[in-house]
Amino acid sequence: MDIPLDLARTLAVVIDEGTFDAAARRLRITPSAVSQRVKSLEQRLGRVLVVRSKPAQATEAGAAVVRLARQLALLEHDALAAFGVDAAPDRPVSVAIAVNADSLGTWFLPALARVAPRHPVVFDLHRDDQDFTAGLLESGTVTSAVTSQARPVAGCLVRPLGVMRYTAVATRAFAAHWSLALAGDRPEARSTDVTAATPTHPLARAPVVDFDRRDDLQRDHLAASGVDPDAPPRHYVPASNDFAVAIKLGLGWGMLPAFQSDAELGRGDLVRLDGAPIDVPLYWQQWNLRSPLLDVIADAVIAEAREALRT
């Protein structure tokens, strides 16, 4: 049994574009031809490869084929580069990367900006929480990821990037209005009061800003402060910059990295709340392929991380 490369590539384009019609436009063939190619591949392999929903989704078997197509595209690019042949300007290789919102919104993009002018590559970025980006590697959706997972995903290499430190902050007016304790107000940085879990604790009443419903940083800070993480009212602001702006405008308190808070803390526009900072170690995971292009991207990302993150 073999997997024809053109059919595997067609399936990958369907998953990338989300629909058969969009895949047809990208491949410059008819939607019927796209459907026939996918059906032919399914018949050859004896597996359903794609859930024909909107957007189209790969099945477990389909994800393996998509992963193969993407690996072959990388290897083809590297082979041509070894021959001194550049990819056609209108057909650069696409590299899919998963990255958490805070990295994407702060330090990550300059690394890619150094790679793009020197290589025929375009980037397909997938934003997700750092605790979940490894899952996109496992499914074959991406070639590499910024993740909090130190254990290598099967078939991947892992390298440490550094630590993003998050500190609970709020505007001075917000902290005063809700009687929130500031860093240094008490001898211990982290509250261990047995009465802290009661509804009268200021953090149980003060509005909090969450990135989305999978954002655990604020919940972790509340739990460490002895407060029921479900107690406070919540704003949800699912964009890194907008999340920081919401805190700086006084909508609520939240956990911000130094990139997004140091200047405001220095001016006194923001204040640090009582409680220990939360450190999130980040790692770079990528497919275990001998790919010069992936290595160039990894080296740029790691170099940028060493400048930007704590070690």
What does the domain layout of the chain look like in residue ranges?
1-68, 164-279
E-assigned strand segments in the chain: 50-51, 57-58, 93-99, 121-127, 144-147, 156-171, 208-210, 234-236, 254-257, 270-272, 278-287
* Residue 98 clears pLDDT 50, i.e. is over it: yes
Q: What is the pLDDT of residues 109-127, one digit of tens each?
A: 999 999 999 888 899 999 9
231 and 240 Cβ atoms separated by less than 8 Å: no
Identity of residue 175: A
- Residue 90 has a pLDDT of 57
Q: What is the mean pLDDT of the chain?
A: 90
Q: How far is CA 99 from CA 163, 283, 301, in A?
A: 14, 10, 11
Contacts of 161 (CB under 8 A, 6+ apart): 146, 282, 283, 284, 301, 302, 305, 306, 309
Q: How far is CA 100 from CA 49, 109, 137, 208, in A?
A: 28, 12, 13, 20
User: Is the peptide bond prior to 257 cis by the omega test (within 30 degrees of 0)?
Assistant: no
* Residue 195 clears pLDDT 70, i.e. is over it: no
Q: What is the pLDDT of residues 40-93, one digit of tens each?
A: 999 999 999 999 998 999 998 998 898 888 888 888 878 877 776 665 555 688
- Residue 85 has a pLDDT of 67
Main-chain phi, psi angles of 107, to 5 degrees: -105, -15
- Residue 37 has a pLDDT of 96
CATH 2.40.110.10 fits 1-68, yes or no: no
- pTM (predicted TM-score): 0.80
Q: Which fold has domain 164-279?
A: D-Maltodextrin-Binding Protein; domain 2 (3.40.190)
pLDDT (average), residues 237-248: 96
Main-chain phi, psi angles of 276, to 5 degrees: -70, 145
* 3-state SS, residue 170: strand
Question: Measured over all CA atoms, what is the biggest interatomic distance in the chain, rounded to whole angstroms?
Answer: 70
